[in-house]
Amino acid sequence: MGIKVKAVERNVSFDKNSEKWAYVLQPDLYSKLSQSKVIQEAALRSGISKGAINAAWDAIGEVIKAWATEGHSVAIPGLGSMRFGLRSTSVADVNKVGAGLITSRRVIFSPNQDIKKELAETSVSITCYDRYGNVVKRVTSTDDSDIEDPEDEPTDPTIPSGGGSDAGVETPGQVTVSATVNDESMGSVTGTGTFAPGESATLIATANEGYRFVKWEDGVTDNPRNVTVGESDVTYTAIFEAE
């Protein structure tokens, strides 16, 4: 069958006064297969009753959740391993360290060698759409099929980790939108996280009592601020001042 991908022409410029058009790859929409459908298919292939598979499914799920929340990297039968991680901002003052620094919590899945081999051998079909929604080209993959493994990616030592996980690990195909402020006592920013290229992120700067939001560091005064996610990680800085 292969993996279906769309290449959609989008305006990836962060400057609202100029345009920069590029084709952004994104997975085509797939139907979501329910737990009952997966269990039914597994029962047909294995000869084991649906009741037995369902009970094992539930038990394994509970064990994985329990151990992952304790900071373990937990094996997922036949697939690989899963662990929890987070991304956060940093502060120079130890008295300001707290859970509020966490910008996103994530699930990190690392495939085993069999899954990597299966993915490497799976063809990719790309349909290209221009900015008007017209199909302009279709492409079939002929690349070297490199497989990204989050366990093999370098760790950013400047980012604190939590839950026994490496917070510097990125989810393949995702871009991190983060934010800082000129003075953390004046306010904060919400709406950060990881997004697929081409998606929209909405950043909201909230001033603490006695302060007000002025602008973003690049001069934009919109608040909330809607941004189109590009191809690489980006950080926005909110500027606050006393009222």
- Rounded to the nearest 5°, which phi and psi values hold at 7? -115, 105
Give the per-residue pLDDT at 31.
Answer: 61
Residue 168 · residue 156 · CB < 8 Å: yes
Could you read off the pLDDT of 132-167 as tens digits, one per residue? 888 899 888 765 545 445 555 444 444 444 433 333
The answer to the question of residue 233 being in a domain is: yes
- Tokens at 1, concatenated: 């069958």
The answer to the question of residue 40 being in a domain is: no
The answer to the question of residue 155 being in a domain is: no
The angle, 0 to 180 degrees and rounded to 10, between the axes of the packed helices 50-68 and 35-46 is 120
How open is the CA angle 224-103-66, to the nearest 5 degrees? 135
Give the per-residue pLDDT at 155.
Answer: 45
The answer to the question of residue 232 being in a domain is: yes
The answer to the question of residue 243 being in a domain is: yes
Q: How far apart are CA 67 and CA 201, in angstroms?
A: 32
Determine the residue type at 150: P
**CATH number of the domain that residue 237 is part of:** 2.60.40
**Number of domains forming the structure of the chain:** 1
Could you read off the pLDDT of 182-216 as tens digits, one per residue? 988 899 998 888 888 888 888 999 999 899 999 99
Determine the residue type at 43: A
The answer to the question of residue 34 being in a domain is: no
| Nearest C-alpha neighbor of 102 from the set 178, 25, 16 | 178
Give the per-residue pLDDT at 239.
Answer: 94
Give the per-residue pLDDT at 77.
Answer: 86
pTM comes to 0.48
Q: How far apart are CA 164 and CA 145, in angstroms?
A: 31
Q: Collect the ranges in the chain with pLDDT lower than 50.
A: 145, 147-148, 153-172
- Sorted by sequence, the CB contacts under 8 Å of residue 76 that are 6+ apart come out as 64, 82, 109
The answer to the question of residue 103 being in a domain is: no
Q: How far apart are CA 6 and CA 176, in angstroms?
A: 21
Q: How far apart are the first and last CA of the chain?
A: 61
Give the per-residue pLDDT at 238.
Answer: 93
User: Within 13 Å of residue 8, how many CA atoms lie on the same side as its CB?
Assistant: 16
Q: What dihedral do alpha carbons 211, 214, 218, 219 form, nearest 10°? A: -170
The answer to the question of residue 217 being in a domain is: yes
Q: How far apart are CA 17 and CA 219, in angstroms?
A: 13
Rg of the chain on CA atoms, in Å: 22
| Residue 197, domain extent | 173-243
Q: How far apart are CA 130 and CA 8, in angstroms?
A: 6
